[in-house]
């Protein structure tokens, strides 16, 4: 029951990040669906899926633009975000009202670029909140399931046409507003000329976790190997699901199937099931679970190729949705986990989506050709190539335990996928708030074991031992006994954020700790005998 309570607390604390990612999933999927419907009015079904792949590929521009601005032009982010929001809404209106195919294509390209920009923010915020928690996969599954559920309800409950399109536009505006509000709330004080990045040990914007170890040759090599394996695995899996999507989208354009119908609810169930399975035992079942789901999904590709009596389309759709939910949760979770170890951590949470969209663009045309020709031999050959890649990158690591880690200055680097249960040992400023709950609980347990000291006695002894000033005493007390954010603590103590960071840096230096989580753990485990 305690584990369930912890999970609920983690999810509750990160509900804004979950909602933002859910809104991105909905707007992205709904925009893709709207584009397919509008293009089907002007071009053949086979051409619809080709244009769709090009539009999805354009989203990669947006996914890259936001991180580049984040690291190289931070002062331009607010203005760029405002412009992106306007472009997104305008592009969606173009998709809705356009009467020329060229305008629809332009609207789709601009909308997907803008959605990529928003998606980069949503994924990065999500990773910062959940990457260090034991419920990362479940949080990813919940956000995706919520987005898909909204799409299904909008498609099946709302009248076709303007009402459905209005929901899409409203959700797009809500997404932009939430993301922009989160940005302003998080960084409103960092324009202060007195802000000291070197002292901001609790700010991911000033001190990234990966920078602590990435200069170590062995750790750097391990990270690169991990990224290479994961990228190849995601590319191969993307090839499988992109081929399936190409075939089903073609059928959707002809009217043979409706991809927004009730069968899409299977995508909700499969993603939730994937979240629960992937989080088991420190995410040690992710690789084998994803491999099995990919094998199952491949069956639908052969179902589409084999000419049947008309019932094959529904069977292929059901199988596809059952596997697709696993895939989205897989790459969202994996890349969020490894982002903790990257020097430029903002790039990585959305990298799974980038790889998927690029592969979709490259695979779509060959997949359509194979389906139209009903060439079973070509399909088998392509499937074998992709499964070899999946087997080498995922199944080749099954012999390694999830707790086999390489220690670099006390920081664990999982040797299999960097996605093991890192929460108990890592101390990442990028997700301090997400890890504070566990730290506070551990602190409470430690305080029970050391019941001979009252809270005041412990604080006084700690302050005296480490020669903290009176103001540092106040800061220390706020840090170790509350779960307030740094901004809230600064407000409570009537300090500027930069001044608070100076006090925190001084406390960390005197106690030999590197972060708030480490300080909390050290404080509650410390005894005067130490």
pLDDT at 429: 38
Across the range 12-32, mean pLDDT stands at 91
Across the range 202-217, mean pLDDT stands at 41
Judged by DSSP in three states, 314 sits in helix
pLDDT in tens, 227-284: 888 888 888 888 888 877 777 777 666 666 666 677 788 889 999 999 999 988 878 7
Taking the C-alpha atoms of residue 306 and residue 155, their distance in angstroms, rounded to an integer, is: 30
pTM to 2 decimal places: 0.69
Taking the C-alpha atoms of residue 405 and residue 340, their distance in angstroms, rounded to an integer, is: 15
Mean pLDDT over all residues of the chain? 75
Taking the C-alpha atoms of residue 112 and residue 108, their distance in angstroms, rounded to an integer, is: 6
Is residue 237 within 8 A of residue 390, CB to CB? The reply is yes
Is residue 404 within 8 A of residue 398, CB to CB? The reply is no
Strand partners, 412: 407
Q: Which fold has domain 13-397?
A: Growth Hormone; Chain: A; (1.20.1250)
Is residue 134 within 8 A of residue 421, CB to CB? The reply is yes
Is residue 260 within 8 A of residue 151, CB to CB? The reply is yes
Q: For residue 225, which of 393, 23, 456, 11 has the smallest C-alpha distance?
A: 393
Domain ranges (residues) in the chain: 13-397, 431-525
Taking the C-alpha atoms of residue 41 and residue 8, their distance in angstroms, rounded to an integer, is: 46
Is residue 165 within 8 A of residue 59, CB to CB? The reply is no
Whether residue 407 has pLDDT greater than 50? no
pLDDT in tens, 374-386: 666 776 777 777 7
Supply angle C-alpha 242, 63, 436, rounded to 5: 105
pLDDT at 483: 66
Structure tokens at 185: 């709330």
Q: Compute CA distances 85 → 23, 69, 374, whole Å.
A: 14, 16, 43
Is residue 337 within 8 A of residue 418, CB to CB? The reply is yes
**Helix axis angle, 351-373 to 217-254, nearest 10°:** 40
Q: Compute CA distances 122 → 143, 178, 185, 350, whole Å.
A: 11, 10, 15, 9
Q: For residue 528, which of 441, 449, 445, 463 has the smallest C-alpha distance?
A: 463
Four-point Cα dihedral 65, 71, 73, 79, nearest 10: 60
Across the range 435-447, mean pLDDT stands at 45
Is residue 323 within 8 A of residue 329, CB to CB? The reply is no
Which of the two residues, 302 and 45, has the higher pLDDT score? Answer: 45
pLDDT grade, residue 406 (50/70/90)? very low
- Residue labelled with tokens 């509000």: 181
Query: Among 132-136, 250-254, 431-435, 510-514, which is the least confidently predicted range?
Result: 431-435
Which of the two residues, 39 and 416, has the higher pLDDT score? Answer: 39
pLDDT grade, residue 309 (50/70/90)? very low
Name the CATH code of domain 431-525 (choices 3.40.50.10140, 1.20.200.10, 3.90.1150.180, 1.10.10.10).
1.10.10.10
CA 124 to chain centre: 6
Across the range 330-343, mean pLDDT stands at 86
pLDDT grade, residue 202 (50/70/90)? very low
Which of the two residues, 304 and 515, has the higher pLDDT score? Answer: 515
As a whole number of Å, the end-to-end CA separation of the chain is 35
Query: Among 162-176, 405-419, 477-491, which is the least confidently predicted range?
Result: 405-419
Burial 106-126 (b: 16+ CB within 10 A, else e): ebbbbbbbbbbbbbbbbbbbb
pLDDT grade, residue 190 (50/70/90)? very low
Residues in the chain: 530
pLDDT at 374: 67
pLDDT grade, residue 344 (50/70/90)? confident
pLDDT at 6: 65
């Amino acid at each position: 029951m305690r584990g369930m309570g912890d999970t609920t607390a983690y999810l509750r604390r990160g509900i804004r990040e979950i909602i933002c990612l859910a809104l991105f999933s909905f707007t992205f999927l709904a925009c893709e669906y709207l584009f397919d419907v509008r293009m089907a009015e002007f071009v053949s079904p086979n051409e619809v899926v080709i244009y769709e792949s090009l539009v999805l590929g354009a989203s990669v521009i947006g996914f890259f633009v936001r991180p580049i601005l984040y690291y190289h032009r931070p002062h331009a982010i607010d203005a760029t975000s405002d412009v992106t929001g306007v472009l997104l809404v305008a592009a969606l209106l173009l998709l809705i009202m356009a009467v020329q195919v060229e305008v629809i294509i332009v609207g789709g390209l601009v909308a997907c670029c803008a959605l990529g920009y928003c998606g980069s923010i949503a994924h990065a915020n999500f990773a910062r909140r959940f990457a260090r928690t034991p419920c990362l996969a479940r949080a990813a599954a919940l956000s995706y399931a919520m987005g898909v559920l909204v799409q299904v309800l909008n498609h099946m409950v709302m009248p076709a046409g303007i009402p459905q399109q209005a929901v899409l536009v409203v959700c797009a505006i809500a997404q932009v507003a939430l993301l922009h509000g989160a940005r302003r709330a998080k960084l409103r004080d960092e324009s202060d000329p007195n802000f000291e990045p070197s002292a901001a040990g609790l700010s991911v914007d000033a001190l990234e976790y990966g920078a602590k170890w990435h200069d170590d040759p062995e750790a750097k090599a391990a990270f690169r190997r991990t990224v290479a394996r994961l990228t190849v695995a995601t590319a191969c899996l993307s090839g499988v699901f992109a081929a399936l999507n190409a075939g089903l989208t073609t059928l959707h354009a002809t009217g043979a199937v409706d991809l927004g119908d009730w069968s899409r609810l299977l995508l909700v169930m499969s993603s939730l099931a994937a979240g629960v399975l992937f989080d088991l035992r420190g995410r040690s079942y992710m690789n084998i679970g994803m491999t099995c789901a990919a094998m199952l999904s491949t069956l639908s590709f052969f179902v589409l190729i084999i000419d049947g009596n008309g019932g094959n389309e529904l069977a292929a759709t059901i199988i596809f949705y059952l596997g697709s939910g696993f895939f989205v949760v897989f790459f969202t979770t994996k890349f969020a986990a490894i982002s903790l170890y990257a020097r430029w951590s903002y790039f990585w949470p959305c990298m799974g989506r980038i790889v998927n969209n690029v592969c979709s663009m490259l695979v779509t045309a060959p997949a359509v050709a194979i389906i139209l020709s009903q060439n079973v031999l070509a399909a088998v050959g392509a499937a074998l190539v992709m499964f070899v890649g999946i087997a080498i990158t995922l199944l080749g690591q099954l012999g390694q335990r999830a707790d086999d880690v390489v220690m670099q200055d006390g920081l664990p680097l999982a040797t299999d996928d960097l996605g093991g249960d890192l929460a108990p040992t890592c101390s990442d400023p990028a997700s301090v708030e997400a890890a504070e709950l566990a730290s506070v609980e551990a602190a409470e347990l430690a305080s029970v074991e050391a019941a001979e000291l009252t809270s005041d006695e412990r604080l006084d002894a700690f302050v005296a031992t480490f020669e903290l000033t009176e103001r540092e005493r106040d800061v220390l007390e706020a840090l170790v006994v509350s779960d307030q954010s740094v901004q809230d603590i600064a407000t409570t103590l009537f300090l500027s954020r930069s001044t608070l960071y100076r006090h925190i840096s001084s406390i960390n230096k005197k106690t030999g700790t590197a972060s708030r989580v480490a300080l909390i753990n050290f404080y509650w485990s410390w005894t005067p005998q130490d």
